[in-house]
Every structure is written in structure tokens, then in C-alpha cells.
Amino acid sequence: MVSSARPARGPLWVYSIAWWCLTPLLLVSLLWRAWRQPGYLSAWPERFGWITRRSGVARQLLWVHAVSVGETRASESLVRALAARWPDADLLLTHMTPTGRATGATVFADLISAGRLRQAWLPWDYPGASRRFLARMRPTLGMLIETEVWPNLLAAANRQRVPMALVNARLSERSLRKGLRWRSLIEPALQGLDLVLAQTPSDAARLAQLGRQAVPVVGNLKFDIEPPAAMIARGIRWRECLLSLGARQGVIVVASTRDGEESMFLDAWRQHVGLTVDSSRPLLVIVPRHPQRFDQVVELARAQGWRTSRRSAFGEGDPDLSAAQSDVMVGDSMGEMFAWYAVGDAAIIGGSFAPLGGQNLIEACAVGCPVVLGPHTFNFEQISEDAVSADAAVRVGNAADALAQALALVENSGRRQQVSAAALAFAAQHRGATQRTVASLAPLVERPVSRSA
């Protein structure tokens, strides 16, 4: 049964007026982002809920919202499980960023080509845009991934009697503090959800502080992602080329770096190895989180005097001699993190060396790549602590210590194999969230409520 809770009228009106007042800034921001990533302007009317009306509304529509790349990857096992469990249902996947939408197009290419899945932008949280989106799509069930609680969207879903679930829910201490400042708006929105499923007991406890009590804990969907065999094979092949052509000792991957972190690691790398030519030392691979920064990172490395190569330089082929003999390689491609983890002797996880909360370490563990974490992992707090306790990861205080730990793993094959085995066991131990999530969602799908037009 769809919950009757909805945000208090006063706070929701203030929130809506703020959206209307900020519209000029939103449009300028959209144009600015589109200058760097043209994908932001594609299908832009969808940002206001002007989406092509769905035909065949007699069929069920299962809608999943995954804001960007991380959430899209987290949704993979869920979307595929939904498609298998309800083969006669249509699927809708919405995003907020071009990188998320591009990732979805790649990950779900088979479902899209089969006509099972459609992609769209989630509209900005204007009341009219949310109403329009839901009226045109008429979903049987909406599923928001991780942290996407939008008050006007949830209020519109309540009025149109569309069941809504927050799945794979996480809430850091920092997000909790922000939520408490806006509790009069966030608490009714959380209570208006028909189902909330948390990743960890800590997430459930923080959600309770925001007013959503007794949240079931089902685990993290990201543990159920199967490393693509083709990507693993690609990474193994790259590694063989890099080590044989360059006579390398090994490869250290600094994964999903954010603004400011690359300079930390390049400076620390100079402290460890200097700028002298030595093709036998490990290759340092830096994979920036956001594609609009690829060129910037390449220019930074070259400006510091490093022989720098780019992943894009060898296209669909394998690394050549110039790549193998470079000091630094920039992973300037999307959708290849599993391959990079198969290349590396150790993975240093970006986003955790600046106060940004860290990035996903689960994919590295699933490949058996030892993980090195920085001090800032509040977005993945419980998983990070569990990985360290399981000897699948080590935590350090800065970039220099991270590289020292990674170099030690390159030099000590016995220790590297021990941590690799622990990482694989850690990933396997935490699987099963998808099955539990789908079982919890089934009553909402199989007993759909009546909805207004």
C-alpha cells in the first residue's frame, strides 16, 4: 500500500520556490557543464519532465534511478534481476549526469537493443516537472539508488499513487548532519517512501535519526556485480604487454582520482623514484574519476617532467613500447576499471586522500587486487573498515604512505598473494544483496496499487 505521508506543505512550498528562483543559475550551470561535457544538453527538455509519453501502458514499468556512474554500476545486478524476475515488464533507467547515462548505455546495451530498457534524465525537482514525468511514464514502481531523496518527486509519486523505494540506501555522518539541518523537509520525504533498504546497520541507524525507523539491512548491491570476463582478459593482456615490453617490476593503479589528488601522487612518486630514467621500476597508472579532467591530468604529469602516455593512444589494441616505457600512464577511458584492477599489483582508491569521502573499493576486491585507502572514506565507512579488518585493504594517512605500501606489495609477491586472496574472500562473503532486495520489492511489483492518470 502506498504511504500517505508527504512533506509538510509549508517547507515543501519554500523548497519549490527556491527551485524556481534558482532556475537562471541552473540553466547557466547546465550550459557551463555542457561546454565541458556536451552530453548535458542532450534531450534537455527531459530535465523539465517533458519526456516522450510511454506507449503500451498496460505493461508494467519498473523504474530505477541511478544518478551517475557509481549508482549505475551498483544498479546492474538489480536491473538484470528485475528483468529476469518480471520478463513482461518494461524497464526505465534515469540519470542526472552524462557519464552515468553513457555507462548505462554500455552496461545495458543488450536490454536496450532488445527493447526492454529505456534511458532518460530524471527531471529537476520542480513540482510540475515531477508530476509530468510520472504522468507520462506511469511506473508500476520507482526505485531510487543510494541517496536520491527528492521531496517534490516523492510528493508527486504519493499523489499519483506510485510506490517508491530507496534501495541500497546509505547515509554518511556528513550527509546526516546536512539532513538534520533540513529535517522538516527530509523526514516527511523519507517517511513517504514505501520501502527503504539499507546497506549496513550504521546506515539504518543514521536513517532512524532522520525519522525513518526500522529500516531492513540487506547489504550492498555492488558486491553482486560480476567482473566482466572480457575486461579481466583485457587487463591481463595489458599487464603482460607492459611488463614484458618495459621490463617492469609491476604496476600501481591510482583509481578514480578527484581534483587535487593527482598532484599529491605525482609529488609523492617523485619522492619515491625521482625523475631518473629507470624502465624497471613499477609503472604508475592514474585513472581520473571524471572524463572532463583527462587532458588536465595528462598536462599536469607532462609539466612535471614525467614521460606520460595515455590509454587512448593504443585504442582497441594493446600497449606499445612507448606506453610500456613511460613513467606515468593516464587511464583516459570510461568503463574499464575492472581491466585496470586486473593490471595492477595494488589499487590506491581515489577520493579518499582529499576530504571527499572515497570511491568504491568493492570492484578492486572482486578482482583480487589489494587495496590501499586514504583517511577520508566516510561515503564507504563500514565497507572500508570491514575490508581493513579482513586484510583485504590497508589504510594510510597520505599519498606518500600509500605509494610506499603499494611498492611494498609489488616487491613482496607472497604478501601480495595473501592480500589478494583476502580481497576475493571479502567480496564473496558479502554477496546476496540483490536477491534480498528483489524479494523485498516483489510485493510492491506484484500487487500494484491503482494510480491516477
Please list the active-site residues: 71
For 229-371, where are the alpha helices, taking DSSP H only?
229-246, 261-273, 294-303, 321-324, 337-343, 362-367
Q: What distance in Å separates the CA atoms of residue 15 and residue 130, rounded to the nearest whole number?
A: 14
Residue type, 253: V
Comparing C-alpha atoms, which of 60, 165, 123 is closest to residue 451?
A: 60
Q: How far apart are the first and last CA of the chain?
A: 18
For 319-398, where are the alpha helices, taking DSSP H only?
321-324, 337-343, 362-367, 381-389
> Given 3-state DSSP classes, what are the helix, strand and coil percentages for the chain, each rounded to the nearest 5?
55, 15, 35
Q: What distance in Å separates the CA atoms of residue 198 and residue 161, rounded to the nearest whole number?
A: 23
**Contact yes or no for 261/354 (Cβ under 8 A):** yes
* DSSP H or E run through 346: strand 346-349
CA 173 to chain centre: 19
**What does DSSP assign to residue 126?**
-
- Detail the DSSP E strand segments found in 111-181: 117-121, 141-145, 164-169
Phi, psi (degrees; rounded to nearest 5) at 227: -60, 125
Q: What distance in Å separates the CA atoms of residue 217 and residue 201, rounded to the nearest whole number?
A: 6
Q: What distance in Å separates the CA atoms of residue 84 and residue 107, rounded to the nearest whole number?
A: 16
Kindly tell me the burial class for residue 173, based on how many C-beta atoms sit within 10 Å of its own C-beta (0-12, 13-18, 19 or more).
exposed
Comparing C-alpha atoms, which of 309, 344, 343, 303 is closest to residue 324?
A: 309
Angle at 272 between CA 305 and CA 375, to 5 degrees: 105
Sequence-distant (6+) residues with CB within 8 A of 67 are 95, 96, 97, 100, 122, 145, 146, 148
